[in-house]
Amino acid sequence: MRKLGIFLLAMSVAMGVVSCKKADDIRKPYEVTCIKDIVIESKFITDKDYKCPFNVILPADYETSGKRYPVLYLLHGMNNDNHAWQTKGDVVNLTKKAVDAGVIAPFIIVCPNAYLSFYVDDLEWPELLDQPVLKFESFFTKELQPYIESHFPVLTDKGHTAVAGLSMGGYGASYYAFKYPEKYCFCASFSGAVSGGDWTGLTDRVPSVEDIFNAKGYTKSDFLRLPEYVMDCGSEDMICSLFNEITHDFLVSIDFPHTYRVYPGVHDWDYWQPAYERMLPELAEHFGK
């Protein structure tokens, strides 16, 4: 019997039936930790009722792994806040699923609360909205980002920093990407209000993507240093589809390389969750797999 057992084991090895993987080789499910409602002292945000808190979603072992991670700044839309991408967008589970599938390597996500600032400085809304005038752009670029880079293990170079968002946040992502191209390698706008203030009459404070390109004087010689740009909008989106079409046509007219996607859907989370998933393989070209 012993000889038979040895023979069967030898045959199993020869046929590749026996697995020799060590326990350490078996990948554990990816887990994250979320630090919520961080508030930092700011010289730009001084209203006691509007402190611009932000959430940070990190690999669970970020304190012990000894690694530094790429970072995605993920921006919310109007009438949402720093929790929206987690509570409505299911971003934690979508990210864990993608990492477990080998679509993208672990990365850090930062979700700020910009209220109705449109991610710019000094935007004044009509009194009926009861919104303070915030210097959110200055806060984001001069305080929040440096805080993230000094308090969390993020890679701080352009090649590992990205920005994305939906609706108002899709505008904010586009605004930051093209106004500060030295900071970002990638930008994605989901149903973004990329026409800026055209639909609100606030054009002086909220320039469109076309306005930004013209103000910066970008030409073809500049395009290689600008972030990779993805626009994704629902075909039945009655709020932002026209803005996306107009912006896409402008970018085509100047031969700026970009990705423009239109899928069936409207201006809601049922569209934005899949849009986030569609983005991850493209983001992985910068962040790694």
The model's pLDDT over 114-138, given as tens digits with 9 standing for 90+, comes to: 999 999 999 987 765 677 889 999 9
- DSSP label at residue 27: P
pLDDT tier for residue 10 given thresholds of 50, 70 and 90: very low
Q: Tell me the β-bridge partners of 263.
A: 234
Q: Could you read off the pLDDT of 260-279 as tens digits, one per residue?
A: 999 999 999 999 999 999 99
Please determine, for residue 3, whether its predicted confidence score (pLDDT) is greater than 80. Answer: no
Q: Is the pLDDT confidence value at 25 over 60?
A: no
pLDDT tops 50 at residue 53: yes
pTM: 0.90
Average pLDDT over residues 206-218: 96
pLDDT higher than threshold 80 for residue 54: yes
Instruction: Name residues whose C-beta falls within 8 Å of residue 229's C-beta, 6 or more positions apart in sequence.
Output: 174, 177, 187, 188, 189, 251, 256, 258, 259
- Mean pLDDT on 178-206: 87
Quote the strand ranges of 103-200, DSSP E: 108-112, 161-166, 186-190
Q: What is the pLDDT of residues 150-169, one digit of tens each?
A: 999 999 999 999 999 999 99
Residue 88, pLDDT score? 98
pLDDT beyond 70 at 253:
yes
DSSP conformation letters of 252-271: HHTT---EEEEES--SSHHH
Comparing CA positions, the residue from 187, 182, 178 lying closest to residue 216 is 178
Mean pLDDT of the chain: 90
